[in-house]
A and B are shown apart, each in its own frame.
With several copies, the nearest count.
Chain A
Amino acid sequence: MTTDRVRLLADMYRIRRMEETCAELYGLQKIRGFLHLYIGEEACAVGALHALTDDDNILATYREHGHALVRGVPMNSIMAEMYGKASGCSRGRGGSMHLFDATRRFYGGTAIVGSGLPQAVGLALADTILARHGITVCFFGDGAVAEGAFHESLNLASLWHLPVLFVIENNLYAMGTALARAQAQTDLASKAAGYDMSSSVADGMDVEAVHAAVADAGGRVRGGWGPHLLELRTYRFRAHSMFDAELYRDRAEVDGWKRRDPITSYSARLVADGVLDQAGVDGLDRAARDEVAEAVEFAEAAPWEPVADLLTDVHTARGMS
């Protein structure tokens, strides 16, 4: 799988460089509102989405830039969305937290913690009834596990034996709340037992481990064995959003995790395995930077939605249904 390994690394670079630029653009007030960076967690979205097919449905959270990009949403339209431009993947109405792409079965982008889970159950129900073959993959954070929506959704999916892969991106914090201060039972994967559901855990800093875990769990779900709960153990390197003073965690802890940076470690691995040389790695990085530069250019030049269109698509226009 030589090519695939390179693409895994390439996609991690694309996310990283895109988001670094987003952070700068936030400083320049080109991007506004909330901006939640995925930096440090790239191996999760990249490993997972490379193990899925175009027929699968994807749901994510407000920390979903990476998922959208790897799913194939063009960086131009993601960047334009962050700018609030009409060429954005949600016409500039959603911004960072609400990236959508119907053609790619990318169902967003929700800013209500836990709200994607029940919808994942419904999407899988639709696939089952309409005899489509995809599975539904729902990403959410460790914080969402405390929500009633988690409990109700896992029960429904298991009770109805639906093809849903629930993926916890456990980055150990929900905003400023460490896992152990939110969960009586911090072994999150173990909660699947309460729903008679299978579960597994993977290292969310290792893109191949994630890929293998999702391929495995996804295969199980695809094979009709019912839903599955997968916990990815990961860490966000940046603040929760751009407004966070990070009073709740130690510099040393952050640094410790940064030493496990999924991109540097995977770059080193591919070089060690002889898949790439350093120039090859640098080439991926450069390509990512170029793509980002172009996306920024695109977003800068993109048009605004006319104010006159404000009310379109609240309801479907009459006679258009």
Chain B
Amino acid sequence: MRITYRDAMRLAIRDALLADPRVLLMGEDVGLYGGSYAVSKGLIDEFGPDRIRDTPLSELGFVGAGVGAAIGGLRPIVEIMTVNFSQLALDQIVNTAALLRHMSGGQFSVPIVIRMATGAGRQLAAQHSHSLENWYAHVPGLRVLTPATVADARAMLEPALADPDPVVIVEHAALYNIEADVPDGITCDIERAAVRRPGSQMSLVTYGGSLPKVLAAADLLAAEGIDAEVLDLRVLRPLDFDTVAASLRRTHRVVVVDEGWKSGSLAGEVVARIAEECLFDLDAPPRRVCSAEVPIPYAKHLEDAALPQVDSIIAAVRQVIA
């Protein structure tokens, strides 16, 4: 079935609502408005306003309510419109959802799934263009997922909801319109990174909204005779480093692509792990292609210049292969 990433998310949410009466979707404008990215369009008609629950603009309050609902036995899917506003709710995510099981000596589960859109590239300017994945990936007790394909958008929610612990799903807004054929009954392993394109000369490691750019770069590089393997990390915490290491031990060269600002980025964590665990497998210094260290500007040419692009990925690969 050919569907968009947006449809895939919706179908996954719908399946979850049908399968388990404890599941509900809550967030700003998920109901009557149909979701700010139209992901939940129509669901309120099918499931009603109790299970497709519109919230006021109270990120701390409704995320905390989601945490409480999860502790109380529901399986809430809480949508924060974008990662930018998730900053208002961080306390509930980090200080309760992530800590509670351990801090209570294992007594409480917080089976919440928190979804949020992320990323830049649509000229929404500095306050609406953050990529803060590494903030979340830093926190023990959270699982952080980044569906980068239509198939993952379709299949990730089920295991995320089955996880008795809090899961953060970060959806790059630039992906909602991509399309693909997705077979029925597809599943997703939320423990493992995925090889999106096998290759032998170079490992390109990425996740989320950067995957299409990296695949495009890999295609162009192939035309130049450079055979790059593309890895999609898919789960940012706990990181599946084995898959990265296995690739690197074959290719000996790596570029990590991440839309976050370079300093303090998740790409930095990946490069650090590589240096710690695979130093002598490297034939060249690893490189990161990240966003420039600047608030993302509105003007298109400046925004383009600030973000990882196919060109800058190719340039980094050339440096590493030289």
Contacts and interface: CB of A to CB of B under 8 A. Distances in A.
Interface of A: 32-34, 57, 84-85, 88-95, 97-98, 100-102, 107-108, 110-115, 117-127, 129-130, 143-144, 146-149, 152-153, 155-156, 159, 174-177, 181-183, 243-245, 247-248, 304-305, 307, 310-316, 321
What class of interface size applies to chain B in its complex with A? 35 or more
B103 to A, nearest CB: 5
A188 to B, nearest CB: 12
A153 B295 contact: no
B145 to A, nearest CB: 14
A100 B140 CA distance: 20
A92, A130, A152: residue with the most chain B Cβ atoms closer than 10 Å? A152
B285 interface: no
Contacts of A177: 28-29, 32-33, 54, 56
Given A92-B298, A97-B124, A112-B91, 6 more contacts: A119-B92, A130-B22, A147-B57, A147-B59, A153-B65, A156-B62
B315 to A, nearest CB: 15
A34 to B, nearest CB: 6
Interface string B15-58: 00000001010001101111010000000000000100011111
A116 to B, nearest CB: 9
Contacts of B91: 112, 115
Nearest to A141: B57
11 contacts: A84-B301, A94-B104, A98-B103, A98-B298, A115-B64, A119-B64, A119-B67, A121-B68, A122-B71, A313-B105, A316-B109
Nearest to B49: A181
Contacts of A85: 299
Contacts of B300: 32, 84
A159 B56 contact: yes
Interface string B293-306: 11101111110011
Contacts of A91: 105-106
A100 B105 contact: yes
Nearest to A311: B294
B143 interface: yes
Interface of B: 22, 24, 28-29, 31-34, 36, 50, 54-74, 76, 84-85, 88, 91-92, 95-96, 101-109, 122-128, 140-141, 143, 162-165, 238, 292-295, 297-302, 305-306
Contacts of A94: 103-105, 125-126, 298
Contacts of B74: 122, 125-126, 129-130
B56 A182 contact: yes
A147 B65 CA distance: 14
B105 A121 contact: no
A111 B125 contact: yes
B92 A115 contact: yes
Contacts of B29: 175-177
B129 to A, nearest CB: 10
B24 A129 contact: yes
Contacts of B71: 107, 119, 122-123, 126
Nearest to A154: B61
A123 B68 contact: yes
A176 B31 CA distance: 9
Contact of A125 (B54, B60, B72, B162): B72
A229 to B, nearest CB: 16
A306 to B, nearest CB: 9
A174 B59 CA distance: 14
Contacts of A123: 68-69, 71-72
Nearest to B84: A112
Contacts of A33: 122-125, 298
A155 B61 contact: yes
B125 A95 contact: yes
Contacts of B84: 112
B302 to A, nearest CB: 6
B143 A176 contact: no
B50 to A, nearest CB: 7
Given A119-B68, A304-B299, A310-B292, A98 B24 contact: no
A91 B301 CA distance: 13
Nearest to A121: B65
Given A110-B127, A125-B68, A149-B61, A92 B299 contact: yes
Contact of A316 (B59, B164, B238): B164
Contacts of A124: 68
A95 B95 CA distance: 16
B67 A118 contact: yes
B66 A122 contact: yes
Nearest to A174: B57
A316 B68 contact: no
Contacts of B141: 314-315
Nearest to B125: A95
Contacts of B76: 122
Contact of A129 (B50, B102, B104, B128): B50
Nearest to B163: A321
